[in-house]
Amino acid sequence: MAHTGPAAHATTDVVLVTNHHPRSTHLDALAHQSLDGRVYPGRLLTDSVSPAGVTHGSTTAFAAGVVTRGVLLDLAATGPLPVGHAVTAQDLDAAEKRQGVTVESGDALVVRFGQPTTPAPPMPGVSIDAVRWMHRRGVSLYAGDTGDAFPAPDPEAPLPLHGIGLVLLGMPLIDAANVEELAAVCGELSRHTFLLTVAAPRIHGLTGVPVNPLAVF
């Protein structure tokens, strides 16, 4: 908004951000979701989140950024996953074998479903079986163009990524990642591993922040 009064030498803006918008790439803090009134690692939600901000499991943990090896598993190499498809451990194993990579402890797992950047429901999603696979492999962070199915197949059950991965395993999530360019570069280089860096805004006490993840080859 421009200032038109005397001696106007600059313009300024006010930005309002909805951190968990489904079409905005963002990093979920551990306090973003709860299960049975508790957040990771079993702490009461009422002791962690208040109208004044988040005191436990907040974006403070991301202030120094995230730097680790990233591995892309392209589940949509032959086309987008169909509506209603629940990604299983078998799907992840098959992608590893096809690409000649192995997800190891500490890796960030990046998954491509092949969905558009502005998807409309219903959407396929990750199953609890796939989250168990991530736990066994020691995945440190999940990022994907899709995560949990929407709408959820069973509204009464915990969401695999947000209800189990985030709340019970303490695995941060990057939602709504645009991985199309990454998949193209990985295909050209025949390489699906890279250095993943996430420089999150240093805003403390929130449940999530917008991010721009970078893959460095």
| Start-end of H helices in 74-194 | 89-99, 128-137, 180-189
What are 46-70's pLDDT values in tens digits?
Answer: 999 998 899 999 999 999 999 999 9
Neighbours of 79 (CB within 10 A): 7
Query: Average per-residue pLDDT in the chain?
Result: 93
Domains and CATH numbers, the chain: 66-197 (3.50.30.50)
Q: Is the pLDDT of residue 116 over 70?
A: no
Contact 181, 167 (CB under 8 A): no
Neighbours of 58 (CB within 10 A): 23
Can you read off the two tokens belonging to residue 24?
């905005």
What is the rounded distance in angstroms from the CA atom of residue 164 to the CA atom of residue 174? 15
Can you read off the two tokens belonging to residue 212?
């721009």
Taking phi over 0 as left and psi of -120 to 50 as alpha, with beta for the rest, 132 belongs to alpha
Judge residue 136's burial from the number of C-beta atoms within 10 Å of its C-beta, 0-12 exposed, 13-18 middle, 19 or more buried: exposed
What are 75-95's pLDDT values in tens digits?
Answer: 999 999 988 899 999 999 999
What share of the chain has pLDDT > 70, as a percent? 94
Picking from 67-81, 104-118, 198-212, which range would have the lowest pLDDT averaged per residue?
104-118
What is the rounded distance in angstroms from the CA atom of residue 18 to the CA atom of residue 24? 8
Contact 126, 88 (CB under 8 A): no
Model pLDDT, residue 216: 98
**What is the band of 22 on the pLDDT scale with cuts at 50, 70, 90?**
confident
Model pLDDT, residue 83: 86
What are 117-145's pLDDT values in tens digits?
Answer: 556 678 899 999 999 999 999 999 999 99
Picking from 27-41, 101-115, 147-161, which range would have the lowest pLDDT averaged per residue?
147-161
Neighbours of 45 (CB within 10 A): 18
Report yes or no on whether pTM surpasses 0.75: yes
Contact 102, 96 (CB under 8 A): yes
**What phi and psi values does residue 97 have, to the nearest 5 degrees?**
-65, -40
What is the rounded distance in angstroms from the CA atom of residue 152 to the CA atom of residue 138? 25
